[in-house]
Structure 1
């Protein structure tokens, strides 16, 4: 299967039209139609349902689209790092992370790196730990920022000099807002919004002293921003990390820490035996230096 055909397929899926995709790709419509027919024949399954005004993807087509984007992104990432100048450090760095104050440390490290190597370009991907490790495993990311624990069989890692605090995001007019901190018994009958991350669920279960699924789970979230809107709409209390949502001034929200305190250590991780680009190698050197300097 040629990369060129995957690019054609992605273009048709995005445009939902053979003619629109042909115009976008600067090739003739008959040529594109023939290439797509060859791709369907090669895979032995129809990828499109052709309508009068637009075409849609079959179930097999949707699966291929997801994989095709990953493959094309990986090819583009590889080519970009091979096409770097031999006279200066250049190339691209791909970093994934969830919502955490530790990203500020990453930002400071990138700033120092770019001061010395301005031709380097970085790309950030936001997602939870499950998203990050999936993309690390497939080679789409160089580094991930995740909450401990780390799978030491699969990844090398360094602990970042940043610690997040677990607690509850709630409305300022909620019954719990007058409390200095939140204990497990305070949450027994409350509608909760929790992260979908497996490691987070395990951490919270340990703090609560019972399976978190036994509580009143009103909903789950991937990243906190939209969950905070649900809290504002009085749909529940979000169990989350501090400093991710602005609760000052006119905000309707406030954050209360857990008691006993529950801290989250953050690691930067990468695949074992990873072969880095020049840019990614220099980033790793810089962050290792900054971590050692902070200790």
Structure 2
């Protein structure tokens, strides 16, 4: 199976039209059709369903699309790494990031490295623990940032200098907005929004025996989306401080949880990484910086 064939396949999957995909790839339509037919013959599966004016993926096609995206990303990364292998002024680093106010520490380190090596380029993917560790395990990322302690058998890691503080985001006119902090009993019987990961981990640690009395109205991977539902009065969002605009003009307020609940943030990488020179430089730099914060 050739990488070129997979690139052609992904182009057609995105465009859902053979003519548009051929134009985008700068190949003739017969060449594109022949390549896709050969790919279907090689796999022994039908990948597309042809309609009058469009093309859609079969179940097998959707499976190949998911796998092909990772394969193409890896091929592109390998090619770029070899191009920049001897480039002492730059290179590429790939990060997978959780949503956290503490990401500012990482951004500061990236800025410092960018000043030292102007040719350095960074690539950011956002997601929860499951999403970013999957890409890290596949070799699509150099580093990932998690809001939970990583598996030390699989990953090496650094703890960020500060922890995130948990709280409740709600409309400014909500009855609980009058309180300085929010306790578990205040949330019982109220619709709550939270990430699925945190609802299964951090919130039970905080709520303890009262966790079963709390009601998850809906889960969001991104706190911003959850805040829009909270703003409409559909529920209270449980999230980290500073992630949501709670200025006077926003119409929202943040109230910390009581007792105080915090989450540590971790920069992780594979136990036996194949780092490029620029990734090695970054790791050395951030280890030094984080060590200074902790002493």
TM-score, with length taken from structure 2: 0.96
* Counterpart-to-counterpart distance in 2, 1:218 and 1:119: 46
Q: Could you say which residue in structure 1 is the equivalent of 2:147?
A: 147
- 4+ residue runs over 3 A deviation: 210-214
Write the distance in 1 (CA, Å) between the matches of 2:85 and 2:194: 46
Q: Deviation digits for residues 49-79 of structure 1, max 9, x if unmatched?
A: 0001010111111111111111101111121
- 1:223-245 deviation line (CA, Å, top 9, x unaligned): 11111111111110011110001
After the TM superposition, which of the residue ranges 90-99 and 78-87 deviates more from structure 2?
78-87
Would the alpha carbon gap of residues 274 and 106 (structure 1) be closer, same or farther in structure 2, given more than 3 Å must change?
same
Residue 288 (structure 1) aligns with: 287
Q: In the alignment, what sits opposite 2:35? A: 35
- Per-residue CA distance 1:3-58 (angstroms, 9 max, x = gap): 11110000111111112111111111111111101111111111100001010111
Q: Give 2:218's aligned residue.
A: 219
Gaps of 5+ in 1: none
Please list, as runs of the form range in 1=range in 2, the aligned pairs for 1:57-96 lying within 5 A after superposition: 57-84=57-84, 86-96=86-96
Query: TM-score of the superposition, structure 1-length normalised?
Result: 0.96
The secondary structure found in structure 2 opposite 1:72 is: helix
Looking at structure 2, the residues matched to 66 and 275 of structure 1 have their Cα atoms a distance apart, in angstroms, of 24
In 2, the alpha carbon distance for the partners of 1:187 and 1:219 equals 15
Q: Larger deviation: 258-267 or 78-87?
A: 78-87
SS at structure 1 position matched to 2:92: strand
Q: Summarize the alignment of residues 112-191 of structure 1 with structure 2, pairs less than 5 Å apart.
A: 112-191=112-191
Residues 11 and 21 of structure 2 are in contact (CA less than 8 Å); yes or no, is this contact kept in structure 1? yes
Asked if 2 retains the 8 angstrom alpha-carbon contact of 1:89 and 1:278, the reply is no
Deviation string for 1:131-188 (max 9, x for gaps)?
Answer: 1111111111111111122111111101110210011111111111011111111111
Which residue of structure 1 aligns with residue 196 of structure 2?
Answer: 196
Say if 1:142 and 1:85 are closer, same or farther in 2 by CA, change over 3 A. closer
- Structure 2 stretches lacking a partner, 5+ long: none
Q: 1: CA distance between counterparts of 2:146 and 2:22?
A: 42
Match of 1:22 in 2: 22
